[in-house]
Amino acid sequence: MRREGSPFTGVGPVFTKELADHLSSIRMMVLTLFVIVFGAFPVASSLQQLRTVVSADAYLFLRIFTLEPERVQITFVTALNFIIPLMAIGLGFDSVNSEFNRRTLSRVLSQPIYRDALLLGKFLGGLATLAVGLMALWLIVFGAGLLLLGVPPGGVEVARAAGFLVVAIAYGGVWLAVSMLFSVIFRSTATSALCALGLWLFFFILWPMVASSIAMSMAPVQFTSADELLGFEQFGQALMRVSPGTLFSEAVAALLNPETRVFGDFSNLFLARSRGTIPNAPLPFDQSLLLIWPQVTGLVAAMIVLFAAAYVIFQREEVRA
Amino acid sequence: MSDNVIEARGLLKLYGTARAVNEIDLDIRRAEIFGLLGPNGAGKTTTILMMLGLTEISGGTVNVLGFDPVRQPLEVKRRVGYLPDSVGFYDHLTARENMRYTARLLDIPRRDAEKRIEDALASVQLADVGDKRVSTYSRGMRQRLGIAEIVMKGAEVAILDEPTSGLDPHATNELLEMIRGLKKAGVAVMLSSHLLDRVQSVCDRVALFNKGKIALMGTVVELANQVLGAGHPLLVEAQGTDIEGVIRGIEGVQQVVAGGDGAWRVTADRDVRAAVAHRIVTAGGSLTRLADLQPSLEEVYTRYFQKEIRHAA
């Protein structure tokens, strides 16, 4: 039996309400503060260091994002890799179950909209909020760079930085979908927040260790050829790429360090095999894009799969308390 | 189209193998107030949710205003107002902002919406507090805001789930008055409730739910006749003689039950009030009260479920 009417009826009102709620909420202010504190520190330090650079660098502006300052030991990108999930989880962990607990869900769903519209509107509202926050942060960093470095960024640099912003939003979208999935599964907002944060910590702290120990256990006693070593290395990388954080950092590395050609610890080995390349020569922008295409696709695919899972569970859920 | 706004035939809801709603037939007519009664878990809310297309139907058909809630839920929900059990609003928004959100979901044009929100809030006497946050509202005010939403929607059918639960008597009366107002405006109202005497005062017809089935359906008087048996119940208060013996001697009296404190409940197959008064007085007793008892829904309800338990035992 087919149902009639567009599943998108009402997405607009839900989206605008969610966006307005997020932007005016205290939670958003706290998250923004968090991001600024975490982001400003590495940026300020790297700016300080970059001002003393005298050598010519075609991509000086992009170094703001990727330079690891001597004193702080954390790049802006690494900070974001850590902070974006927190922001996304903060925005999404109670999106559906709070409606349930406030008993607004059945009243809203008795209006002429499908559940599809409610979930999609909420997701897009959260994503837009995230995008607004990241865009603001990005502009602040850009502005600070302009003021303190006194060097205008080149066109390619702006394009690369914009690409970085898009990847960051996609990365946030993955974690937003994760937290919304938990908010659909668990009735208690505390449980859903805990699960989302637990998964985040798992991927950040535990997964690198787990992945390397899995890879180690599969390794032969002795490598007999470079191919074998490469295959082993690729397997380890594939495991690491299960974590969205890895995909994000690889994609960002290729965008912001135009010299990046391959990822991983054994990049020299890869490079040795690709003949005719000039080491440390920057790649053109479109080549960098080609390089990170799988990573970006992976992020978007993860976002869609997680959202679809949340959607299926939400459709089957009973409305009554 | 017929006069029925809701028609359910063989409506069935399964949870696993349990039959939450077991093949019920139900008709709600235009501009009537219909009460769904029954103990918790009897299937009232499930029935309501199926009519709104908010939960899947396992079998049978429902027709709401000519639409099928399974295939055309948007059309149904556009025309039916629903006040859920202990309704919730967005606490951080004002009543007007909550209503505006609903108006946007209903796709009411903005200029039109403001007027309709004002009128609806005025009709439930919330216009002066409409700019206060809903978090400051009492339970009764929230219920009234829920009614205002239905009014704004211009619904043809209003479905109210336990609208009076948890309200104080004054707030209950106010709410029932508003429900009567809906009926006057031509809205068919279906409500479920535990407060039987209140329901009795507003409902045109009621259905008694039991274990997923409709045990009884009809007007309160019809139900009373079915459950309590046809007859004229009387309350007699008198003293001074063997009142019970005297009453038992009257032709047509079927049953005399002592109610304590010189009061008796009498059931007869005809109106025996005059005879009762005459006999007591001539027997030398003093008659202090003689009242015709209206069948009460509460009595019907209690008696019916007592019978059920006895049958089951």
In this complex, do A13 and B101 lie within 8 Å of one another by their Cβ atoms? yes
pLDDT at A186: 94
Residues for chain A: how many in total?
321
Mean pLDDT of chain B: 88
CATH number among 3.60.15.10, 3.40.50.300, 3.30.420.40, 3.20.20.100, domain B4-218: 3.40.50.300
Q: Kindly report the three-state secondary structure assignment for every residue of chain A.
A: CCCCCCCCCCHHHHHHHHHHHHHHCHHHHHHHHHHHHHHHHHHHHHHHHHCCCCCCCCCCCCHHHHCCCCCCCCCHHHHHHHHHHHHHHHHHCCCCHHHHHCCCHHHHHCCCCCHHHHHHHHHHHHHHHHHHHHHHHHHHHHHHHHHHHCCCCCHHHHHHHHHHHHHHHHHHHHHHHHHHHHHHHCCCHHHHHHHHHHHHHHHHHHHHHHHHHHHHHHCCCCCCCHHHHHHHHHHHHHHHCCCHHHHHHHHHHHHHCCCCCCCCCCHHHHHHHCCCCCCCCCCCHHHHHHHHHHHHHHHHHHHHHHHHHHHHHHHHCCCCC
Write out the H or E segment, with its range, that includes residue B266: strand B263-268
Mean pLDDT of chain A: 87
> Which positions in chain A touch B46 (Cβ < 8 Å)?
320
pLDDT at A283: 82
Identify the top-confidence range among A270-284, B133-147, B159-173, B241-255.
Answer: B133-147
A-B Cβ pairs (cutoff 8 Å, strict): 87
B162: closest CA of chain A, how far (Å): 13
Residue B1's pLDDT band (cuts 50, 70, 90): very low
Which of the residues B46, B62, B105 would you substitute to probe the A interface, choosing the one with the greatest number of A C-beta atoms within 10 Å? B105
Looking at CATH, the fold of the domain delimited by B226-297 is given as Alpha-Beta Plaits (3.30.70)
Mean pLDDT over B237-255 rounds to: 82
pLDDT at A277: 62
pLDDT tens, position by position, A99-132: 999 999 999 999 999 999 999 999 999 999 999 9
Of the partner residues A4, A10, A106, the one whose CB lies closest to the CB of residue B105: A10
Residue B312's pLDDT band (cuts 50, 70, 90): low
Q: How far apart are CA B228 and CA B216, in angstroms?
A: 13
Which of the residues B57, B74, B87, B156 would you substitute to probe the A interface, choosing the one with the greatest number of A C-beta atoms within 10 Å? B74
Burial class (CB in 10 A: 0-12, 13-18, 19+), A181: buried
pLDDT at A278: 64
Q: Which residue of B has its CA nearest to A109?
A: B54
In this complex, do B75 and A108 lie within 8 Å of one another by their Cβ atoms? no
pLDDT at A229: 79
In this complex, do B80 and A110 lie within 8 Å of one another by their Cβ atoms? yes
Q: Which residue of B has its CA nearest to A10?
A: B105
Provide Rg for chain A, Cα atoms.
Answer: 22
In this complex, do A104 and B88 lie within 8 Å of one another by their Cβ atoms? yes
Q: Which residue of B has its CA nearest to A4?
A: B72
3-state secondary structure of B236: strand
H-helix segments, chain B: 44-51, 73-79, 95-105, 110-123, 139-153, 169-184, 196-202, 220-228, 243-248, 273-282, 297-312
At which residue do the structure tokens 């009142």 appear? B243
Q: Is B216 in contact with B228 (CB distance < 8 Å)?
A: no
Closest CA to A245 of A136, A69, A96, A88: A88
The ipTM assigned to this model is 0.86
B45: closest CA of chain A, how far (Å): 8
Residue B135 is given by DSSP the state: G
Q: How far apart are CA B64 and CA B72, in angstroms?
A: 10
B8: closest CA of chain A, how far (Å): 19
Whether the pLDDT of residue A148 is over 80: the answer is yes
**Beta bridge mates, B263:** B237, B260
Give whole-number Cα distances, B109 to A121, A209, B78, B114, in Å: 20, 57, 15, 9
pLDDT tens, position by position, B142-164: 999 999 999 999 999 999 999 98
Q: How far apart are CA A43 and CA A54, in angstroms?
A: 19
Q: Is B214 in contact with B26 (CB distance < 8 Å)?
A: yes
Q: How far apart are CA A177 and CA A313, in angstroms?
A: 13
CB neighbours of A71 closer than 8 A, spacing ≥ 6? A45
Closest CA to A95 of A18, A199, A27, A35: A18
Q: List the domain boundaries for chain B.
A: 4-218, 226-297
Q: Which residue of B has its CA nearest to A25?
A: B92
Structure tokens that stand for B78 in this block: 């556009």
Q: How far apart are CA B237 and CA B235, in angstroms?
A: 7
CB neighbours of A165 closer than 8 A, spacing ≥ 6? A134, A135, A138
B288: closest CA of chain A, how far (Å): 52
B103: closest CA of chain A, how far (Å): 9
Q: How far apart are CA B168 and CA B201, in angstroms?
A: 16
In this complex, do A104 and B78 lie within 8 Å of one another by their Cβ atoms? no
Structure tokens that stand for A115 in this block: 């559940």
A161: closest CA of chain B, how far (Å): 38
pLDDT at A68: 81
pLDDT at A275: 58
Whether the pLDDT of residue A268 is over 70: the answer is no
pLDDT tens, position by position, A278-305: 666 788 888 888 889 999 999 999 999 9
Q: How far apart are CA B265 and CA B286, in angstroms?
A: 17
pLDDT at A201: 94
Mean pLDDT over A213-239 rounds to: 82
Q: How far apart are CA B239 and CA B285, in angstroms?
A: 6
Of the partner residues B70, B106, B146, the one whose CB lies closest to the CB of residue A112: B106
pLDDT tens, position by position, B12-68: 999 888 899 999 999 999 989 999 988 888 889 999 999 998 998 999 999 999 999
Q: How far apart are CA B192 and CA B84, in angstroms?
A: 10
Of the partner residues A14, A17, A110, the one whose CB lies closest to the CB of residue B77: A110
Q: Report chain B residues touching chain A, CB-CB < 8 A.
A: 45-46, 49, 52, 54-55, 70-75, 77-78, 80-92, 101-102, 104-107, 146, 149
Q: Is B142 in contact with A103 (CB distance < 8 Å)?
A: no
A306: closest CA of chain B, how far (Å): 24
Q: Is B24 in contact with B11 (CB distance < 8 Å)?
A: yes
> Which positions in chain A touch B84 (Cβ < 8 Å)?
103, 106-107, 110
In this complex, do B102 and A320 lie within 8 Å of one another by their Cβ atoms? no
Q: Which residue of B has its CA nearest to A113?
A: B74
> Which positions in chain A touch B72 (Cβ < 8 Å)?
3-5
Q: How far apart are CA A128 and CA A173, in angstroms?
A: 10
Beta strand B59-64 pairing with B205-210: unpaired
Closest CA to A116 of A302, A305, A315, A313: A315
Q: How far apart are CA A83 and CA A69, in angstroms?
A: 18
At which residue do the structure tokens 């054994």 appear? A266
Provide Rg for chain B, Cα atoms.
Answer: 24
Q: Which residue of A has its CA nearest to B160?
A: A107
Identify the top-confidence range among A196-210, B191-205, B223-237.
Answer: A196-210
pLDDT at A226: 76
